Amino acid sequence: MFNSPKTNEITSQIKDNTEHLVESAKEAVSDIAAETKDAAQTLGKKIQSTTADTKSDAEALIASLRELLAEKPLKTKAEEIKTQLAGQYNEWKDTVQHEVEVALNESQARSRKVLNEQPLLTLAVAVGAGAFIGYLIGSHQSSEQKS
């Protein structure tokens, strides 16, 4: 009953459409992966640059602390060191937090851009997957009824 030439033709078309959708989805995923890789590399470079700057700042702070220790009484030195360390800590924290926020916002924007640029592909993949699953379930149920 379900093996008429028209049914076979429709089944063939569904398979072809599904294969096309799968290929399109693979390309979209590949594009997204490439953009994600680029974003990760950019973020890595920014973090390396920030780390190098932070290292330079830390070395300058250590040199400054050494100078303070050599010049003033211990109690005054300790208070100045404490003040410098607190200020430097807050600056480093703000810098790292800012870099992480920028990277997160950039990756979210890129993901939205890709999804917004190809909404029909997203919809087509979803419809194709649903049709394919429906076909599999239908063929599975019909083979059970024959047994």
- Asked if the model's pLDDT at residue 145 lies above 80, the reply is no
- Residue closest to 15 by CA, chosen among 95, 135, 144: 135
**Tens of pLDDT along 85-110?**
888 888 888 887 888 788 888 877 87
* Angle between helical axes of 5-71 and 119-146 (0-180°, round to 10): 130
Between residues 77 and 46, the one the model is more confident about: 46
Amino acid found at 39:
A
- Determine the pLDDT at residue 1: 46
Q: Determine the average pLDDT of the residues in 112-135.
A: 78
- Determine the pLDDT at residue 146: 63
pTM over 0.75: no
Tokens 């300790």 identify what position? 78
How far is Cα 70 from Cα 97, in angstroms, rounded to an integer?
34
Between residues 122 and 1, the one the model is more confident about: 122
How far is Cα 120 from Cα 127, in angstroms, rounded to an integer?
10
- Asked if the model's pLDDT at residue 23 lies above 80, the reply is yes
**Tens of pLDDT along 54-69?**
888 878 888 887 776 6
Angle at 16 between CA 10 and CA 22, to 5 degrees: 135
